[in-house]
Structure 1
Amino acid sequence: MIRLYRAGETHAEASDVLPGWTLPADVLWIDLVRPTREEETVVEAALGLGLPTPEEMAELEASSRLYRQNGAVFLIADLMHHGDEDLPALAPTTFVITDGPLVTIRYVDPKPFSMLDDRLEREPALCRSGHEVFLTLMEAVIDRLSDVLSGNAAHVEAVSSHVFTQTKTVGFDRLITKLGRAHMANARIEQSLSGLARIFAFLGPDDRFEKDVEIREHLRSLGRDASSLIVHAQAVAASINFQLSAALGLINIEQSSIIKIFSVASVCFLPPTLIASIYGMNFERMPELSEPWGYPAAIAAMVAAAVLPLLWFRGKGWL
């Protein structure tokens, strides 16, 4: 599907393009949503540019993601979608900055695109060029990443209150699973922010953004926002790592306590077992067996052999 946003309009509209289609002069934004090869071919012919394929968009090398070709700037960024879920996903999205309209190519529906549609509907005169559409869209992307990062940080803080609770009912297996998913989500947020920071740095010297003071300052502001969010994401990652280490340490302490109980029980029951074993051999020359006080004496010896180690452990402070 191809969506076109024209100057002064309140929203982008889906458009059917046919071979030989020419680009209207008032188009500020061409949004290709899961385009077919025929749609890509028509847009390429209208712009005189070659658009990257999904395979090329999936490349991870910086040289393949940020480049200039035929007077246009090609930028590929990993944008987050399904950000409201516990584990957001990333998908590559292409931005083509030309002297005319902005071109975007995407195969998912990140929320910033709908956020931009809502904003353009409220402020039709917000964007006067493709460059302003790009910066406004990037602002929506940064805002969305900030919201997802704040939600993830709050989730980690909630898990922290359970990790360090004083009760004995903490399910560490569930907490570690939650922390692991939070760590993966945070890593994806940081990956997206790092890609955006590279984009803003790459566009800094570009004449399209450098010659206009307002656009240049807007771009620099976005770069500072991305950098500050990266620092925030790194702080959240450090908190997650600390809580994972703390949870594992508490698990070890709990396991040590359990082993200590079994060890104390073994030590306490070993002497009575030894006494019972001796008197259970039934040799003929065991005078205690024929005495009336033999059985009570054996019971008393076993009780004393069990109690004395407990008292000794408590005196040492081991219990």
Structure 2
Amino acid sequence: MNFPAPSPPTPPPTADASPAAPLRWTRLHASQLAEVHEAEQRLGITLSGRGGGAADEENRCLLIPITLILRQPEQYVEANLLIILAPQEVITLEKDLRLPALDRIEWKLSLPDYARDASARMLDLLDELNNDTHETLDGIYTALEDLAEEAQQATGGFELRGRQAGVADIADTAVALGEAEELIARSIEGQLDLERALRWAKRFYGLQEADRHAAMLHSDIEGCKRQLRFQHEKIRNIQQSLMTTLDLKQNQVIKVFAVITAIFTPPTLVAAFYGQNFAYMPELALPWMEWAVIALTGISALLPLFYIVRKGWLR
């Protein structure tokens, strides 16, 4: 029986125009409902309601979602961007925030001497988005330095106010480290989105692997991603140190009570014995026996303490 040969895989859509053709860029925001609807009608695609996820192909257009973590003056926010690669046109749809990277690209396009082809301008767009991630990385690095100092105070034993750092101090630092870990994880996902967008852009514009601009951008994205992973490992080390310190502090509390019990149990037993109301205790009639009982009580407390100190359990 002869089976038909499998059909070759469908290649990704490519731009009809040459990469050297000028780039027509349309910047849209989700709040511009009329403009978004017009772009949908013109390209025959659906833009409304699209979220993150994998890149999609629709009517010879590539739709690439990107989610980035941006550094704001007082916080870090998540920004969603949808890049639509269409023949002879690129559309960027901002879902919430206006991205500073697109502001810079818009300014560059207004310059009369900014004469670059479509593929180079697309790479410039991705490069500016990656620069925003670098700013986020700088903020994360500064925040981790502060968290490392807090962790050092929590694990060092005593803070400046003179009291020993307790479980509550370690717990607060651990929560802050968990939030920082989540922030870095989301930033790494943003770098993966940029890397994916770069691969699709290279296929769409037919760029070769040896293209210098694309290679440098890919190296920059990879470098930022490695730095984020390094900071992620740094957080893991600090968290491990905090958890180890917390275990040691809990063991210290248990050890203190165990030592107290070991020291005071023998004299308690002696005092309890001689405190009983027996009808006849002949040794109490001996001279100085009452003082001997007191001395026996003290010795029975000092012997366990001497043994514990000799074993080094109080260190």
**What's the TM-score once normalised by structure 1's chain length?**
0.78
Instruction: Give 2:68's match in structure 1, choosing from 61, 73, 79.
Output: 79
Across the aligned residues of Structure 1 and Structure 2, the Cα RMSD in angstroms comes to 2.8
- Mapped partners of 1:96, 1:217: distance in 2: 24
- Mapped partners of 1:160, 1:41: distance in 2: 49
Report whether the alignment pairs 1:308 with 2:303.
yes
Task: Show the counterpart of 2:90.
Answer: 102
Instruction: Give 2:264's match in structure 1, choosing from 266, 269, 279.
Output: 269
Q: Deviations over 1:9-43 (max 9, x none)?
A: xxxxxxxxxxxxxxxxx983211112354332222
What runs of 5+ residues in structure 2 fail to find an aligned partner?
1-21, 160-164
Task: Return the letter of the residue paired with 2:68.
Answer: L
Q: Deviations over 1:193-242 (max 9, x none)?
A: 01111111222232x2528x9xx432332222111222221111111111
Task: Show the counterpart of 2:9.
Answer: none
Q: Which has the higher contact order (CA 8 A, sep 6+)?
A: 2
- Mapped partners of 2:56, 2:286: distance in 1: 101
- Mapped partners of 1:301, 1:113: distance in 2: 85
Task: Show the counterpart of 1:57.
Answer: 51
Task: Show the counterpart of 1:14.
Answer: none
How many residues are aligned here? Answer: 282
Q: Deviations over 1:49-101 (max 9, x none)?
A: 314222x323x2x2xxx234334332111122455555x34343111123334
Task: Return the letter of the residue paired with 2:137.
Answer: L
- Mapped partners of 1:129, 1:33: distance in 2: 25
- Mapped partners of 2:250, 2:197: distance in 1: 49
Identity of matched residues, %: 22
Task: Return the letter of the residue paired with 2:26.
Answer: I
Instruction: Give 2:31's match in structure 1, choosing from 25, 31, 35.
Output: 35
Task: Show the counterpart of 1:143.
Answer: 131
Q: CA deviation at 1:105?
A: 0.8
Q: Deviations over 1:127-171 (max 9, x none)?
A: 655544432222121111112113213322332344345443343
After TM superposition, list the pairs within 5 Å mapping 1:112-127 onto structure 2: 112-117=101-106, 123=111, 125-126=113-114
- Mapped partners of 2:178, 2:119: distance in 1: 39
Task: Show the counterpart of 2:180.
Answer: 182
Task: Return the letter of the residue paired with 1:204.
Answer: K
**What SS class does the counterpart of residue 210 from structure 1 fall into?**
coil
Q: CA deviation at 1:280?
A: 1.4
Cα distance, 1:186–1:204 mapped onto 2, change above 3 Å: same
Which one is further off, 165-174 or 105-114? 165-174
After TM superposition, list the pairs within 5 Å mapping 1:146-157 onto structure 2: 146-157=134-145
What runs of 5+ residues in structure 1 fail to find an aligned partner?
1-25
Report whether the alignment pairs 1:168 with 2:168.
no
Equivalent residues of 1:28, 1:133 under 8 A apart: no
Which one is further off, 124-133 or 176-185? 124-133
Which one is further off, 101-110 or 249-258? 101-110
Report whether the alignment pairs 1:134 with 2:122.
yes
